[in-house]
Amino acid sequence: MANSMYEQNESGGVLVNIRKAVLADIEGIYNLVDYYAERGLILPRSRHSIFETLRDFTIAEQDGQIVGTCALTLAWDGLAEVRALTVAPQHLRSGVGLKIMASVIDEAKQLGISKLFVLTYHPEFFATAGFSEISKEELPHKVWRDCINCSKFPNCDETAMTRQL
């Protein structure tokens, strides 16, 4: 698994580094997650929750700035959830999301995970990343543990998708 890889940003020709998060990244992750959580696109995360789950996170950085985040959370035997996937607004549609996903998929394979799932308002992106839509009922009950804290529970309007690895 590549812990860190430098990728060319096709639109700007700018280098984006994809790597596992470290403690110094917590504030940057928090700010980006908070930006999209305030817009209702992902679940909010406290700094403390990011601290506790820091080892789940992969980040994209450019010039020392965090421009993308993604958490890979083990959910069940062979199953993991893709969470808190974000790309900074000024970098959207320049391939950063797919680069983070490629790194997270690599990590998941290394861990022996056989299937990823996501609950999302961006099914188009995940379809591009090789995910297919499923019925939410197909997911094991255990994966709903965080949904209880969601303001929309139990009327989830996100799309459930999975990708076999």
Q: How far is the CB of 1 from ligand COA (least distance, A)?
A: 20
* 9 to 4, 6, 62, 106, 125: CA distances (angstroms): 15, 9, 10, 20, 17
Q: Is 98 in the site for ligand COA (CB under 6 A)?
A: yes
Under a CB-based contact definition with an 8 Å cutoff, are residues 21 and 86 in contact? no
Q: Is 131 in the site for ligand COA (CB under 6 A)?
A: no
Residue in 101, 88, 91, 94 with CA at minimum distance from that of residue 36: 88
Nearby residues of 57 by Cβ (< 8 Å), 6 or more positions away: 20, 21, 25, 29, 50, 69, 70, 71, 84
Contacts of ligand COA in 6-35 (CB under 6 A): none
Judged by CB under 6 A, the residue of 94, 102, 136, 165 near ligand COA is 94
Judged by CB under 6 A, the residue of 63, 124, 137, 138 near ligand COA is 124
Cα 111 to Cα 28: distance, rounded to the nearest angstrom: 26
- Is 23 or 79 the residue whose CB approaches ligand COA more closely? 79
- Is 6 or 121 the residue whose CB approaches ligand COA more closely? 121
The dihedral built from the CA positions of residue 15, 17, 23 and 27, taken in this order, carries a sign that is positive
Under a CB-based contact definition with an 8 Å cutoff, are residues 136 and 156 in contact? yes
Judged by CB under 6 A, the residue of 7, 28, 56, 97 near ligand COA is 97
Q: Is 117 in the site for ligand COA (CB under 6 A)?
A: no
Binding-residue total with ligand COA (CB under 6 A): 20
Integer-rounded Cα radius of gyration of the chain: 15
Q: Is 62 in the site for ligand COA (CB under 6 A)?
A: no
Q: How far is the CB of 47 from ligand COA (least distance, A)?
A: 19
Q: Is 128 in the site for ligand COA (CB under 6 A)?
A: yes
- Chain positions contacting ligand COA, by CB under 6 A: 36, 41-42, 85-87, 92-98, 118, 120-122, 124-125, 128
